[in-house]
């Protein structure tokens, strides 16, 4: 029956499946991106054709000197092979090497434009400040620049934590606000 289902519904079965996969993207012999995933499934018969990273993905972006500029990690990802736009979901974390960090639940990456974007709640830690972007962000894929679509607020820190695999919770925000208010009242 499984064989018959594959023939009748080919778009439901992957054409290619791989485990513990590393994909390298280069341009003019320069390493640009390294993608690692525990599982990859390619669906060539779907419209559009797509590659799914169902157990998570980690992408590292490099500059021309082969130095890491930024990284992206997510619980799940999908590449639309026609538009070359990636969609990452779950605990999405973007870190700029030695700099800014972004946390969200969904983000899109346009390879041609070299930008990441979304239209959902996003948290950014940047140079001693924590930003809440309620309606999304737009940023360079290496996170060298970014902008909030709608900023809900910002909080300054002396020591900005590096983004982890979870969003900052309301209880964490409340404790930070209490600490700031206590410092202002002294």
Tens of pLDDT, residue by residue over 102-121, are 899 999 999 889 899 999 99
The structural architecture, per CATH, of the domain 14-185 is: Sandwich (2.60)
The pTM for the full model equals: 0.73
State the Cα–Cα distance between residues 82 and 180, nearest whole angstrom. Answer: 48
Buried-state track 97-109, b at ≥16 Cβ within 10 A, e below 16: bebbbbbbbbbeb
- Distances 149 to 6, 70, 112, 120, 128 between C-alpha atoms, Å: 44, 21, 21, 9, 20
Tens digits of per-residue pLDDT, 22-81?
A: 999 888 888 988 999 999 999 988 889 999 999 999 999 898 888 998 889 999 999 999
Q: What is the average pLDDT score of the chain?
A: 80
Read off the pLDDT band of 143 (50, 70, 90): confident
Listed by start position, the domains of the chain span 14-185
Task: Average the pLDDT over 131-138 and give the result.
Answer: 89
């Amino acid at each position: 029956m499984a064989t018959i289902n594959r023939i009748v519904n080919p778009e439901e079965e992957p054409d290619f499946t791989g485990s513990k996969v590393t994909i390298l993207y280069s341009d003019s012999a320069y390493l640009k991106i390294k993608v690692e995933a525990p599982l990859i499934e390619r669906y060539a018969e779907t419209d559009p054709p797509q590659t799914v990273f169902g157990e998570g993905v980690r992408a590292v972006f490099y500059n021309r000197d082969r130095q890491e500029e930024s990284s992206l990690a997510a619980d799940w990802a999908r590449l639309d092979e026609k538009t070359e736009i990636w969609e990452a979901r779950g605990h999405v974390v973007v870190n700029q090497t030695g700099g800014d960090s972004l946390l969200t639940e969904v983000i899109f990456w346009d390879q041609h434009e070299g930008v990441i974007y979304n239209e959902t709640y996003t948290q950014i830690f940047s140079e001693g400040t924590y930003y809440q972007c309620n309606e999304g962000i737009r940023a360079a894929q290496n996170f060298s620049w970014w902008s909030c679509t709608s900023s809900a607020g910002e909080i300054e820190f002396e020591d900005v934590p590096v983004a982890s695999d979870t969003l900052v919770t309301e209880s964490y925000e409340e404790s930070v606000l209490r600490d700031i208010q206590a410092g202002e009242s002294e």
